[in-house]
Amino acid sequence: LCKLDGTSNKSRLGANAIVATSLAVAKAAASTARLPLYRYLGGPSAYLMPVPMLNIINGGVHAGNELAFQEFMIVPVGADKFSEALRIAVEVYYELKDVLKKKYGALAVNVGDEGGFAPPMKTSREALDALMKAITGAGYSESEVVLALDVAASQIYKDGKYYVDGVKLNAEELLEYYLQLFSEYPIKSIEDPFMEEDYEYFKLLTAKVRGKVLVVGDDLYTTNPQRLRRGIEMKATTAVLVKVNQVGTLTEALQVVDMAHKAGMKTIISHRSGETEDTTIAHLAIAVRSGLIKTGAPARGERTAKYNELLRIEEELGSQAEYPGVDAFKIMTV
C-alpha cells in the first residue's frame, strides 16, 4: 500500500483509505487462519491484558471549561484481572458523577467526545482532588487506583510560555509544577508535558522521574519512526503513544512498537478523540503486549466497544490471561 501510494504522507491514495484497507487485510488473514486478530498478530505470547487508562475528566481543547490539561485519567492497577479492573473503574466513574453533580450541578455531568465529564473547573488540583474524592468514595485507595495526565502542552503554549491555571509559566517553572503534583497525588504517567518540539525538557523531566512516573510522547512523536528515533537517542521519554491511523498502516504501527520495545520504552495503544466502534486496538494492545491502553471513559458506544471486546478476549483466554496491574508502568530493560 505504501509503495502504491508513493508519498510520505499517503496523500495519493488517502490515509483513511489506506488504514482501512490495512486493517481489513489483517482481519481477513486472521479469519483465513481461523485465529482471533490478537493471536494472528501476536502469536502464542499474546495473553497479557492491557491496563486501561480512562479519561474521565476532560479539559483543554476537548472541553469548554478552563482546565489547561486535556485529560485527567484513572488507572485501576489494584486488580487481579481486566474484568475486575474495569468494574473498579466504572464504580469510580459513577462516584465521580455524583461528586460533580453535587458540587457543580447537573450540567457538569454531560459527557464529552471521549465519554469523560467537563465540569466548570479552573485548576488542575481541583480536577485531581475530585478524582481522589471519587476513588475514596467508591471504596478504593490510591494504591488500587492511580492517576495519569495528558497535558497536550502544545495547546497551551504561546510565545515561549505555557498558560496553566491562569498563570504564565516558562518550561523550567512548568517542570517544577509537575514535580509538585507528583509529590501530592499518585500520578504514574504524564503525556506531552511540554510542547512537541521541546525534546530537551522532555529529557530533563524523564531524567528526574525515571522509574517513578512514565513520561509519554504523543504529539512529540505522532507515531512517526523518525521522530521516535530522535527521542530514543536523546532518552526524551520512557513511553510512546501508538495510534494506528496516525502512521497509516498496521504494519508501520507494529514497526513503531518494535522500535520502542527494543529501546526499552513502554508503548500505550491509543484510540482517537474521534472514534468508531472498530475494536482493532483492543487486539493490538494484547498482540504487542503493551500492557496499557487508552480508549476513553466507560461511556459512549465507540469507547465501550473496545472494553467489551477486551472482556470477551479475557474470557476466551481463560486462565492464560494475565493482568499486569501496577507492573504495567515498569520500564523495560534492554
pLDDT tens string 290-328: 999 999 999 998 999 999 999 999 999 999 999 999 999
Residues 16, 21, 24, 29: what is their CA dihedral angle, to the nearest 10 degrees?
-150
Does residue 300 contact residue 56 with C-beta atoms inside 8 Å? no
Pairwise pLDDT comparison (63 vs 194), residue with the higher score: 194
Domain coordinates in residue numbering, the chain: 2-324
From residue 108, alpha-carbon distances to 112, 116, 288 in Å are: 11, 10, 38
Does residue 247 contact residue 232 with C-beta atoms inside 8 Å? no
Query: Whole-angstrom Cα distance, residue 10 to residue 245?
Result: 11
Residue with cell string 460533580: 100
pLDDT band, residue 5 (cuts 50/70/90): low
Lookup: cell for 130:
475530585
- Write the CATH number of the domain with boundaries 2-324: 3.20.20.120
* β partners of residue 322: 48
Which residues, 6+ apart, have CB-to-CB distance to 332 below 8 Å? 261, 264, 265, 266
Query: Whole-angstrom Cα distance, residue 7 to residue 11?
Result: 6
Over residues 14-35, the pLDDT tens digits come to 777 888 999 999 999 999 999 9
| Sheet arrangement for strand 167-169 | 157-158, 161-164, 167-169
**Average pLDDT of the residues in 143-162:** 97
Task: Please determine, for residue 156, whether its predicted confidence score (pLDDT) is greater than 60.
Answer: yes
Task: Please determine, for residue 178, whether its predicted confidence score (pLDDT) is greater than 70.
Answer: yes
Active site residues: 114, 243
Task: Please determine, for residue 64, whether its predicted confidence score (pLDDT) is greater than 90.
Answer: no
**Residue-level pLDDT at 334:** 46
**Residue-level pLDDT at 9:** 67
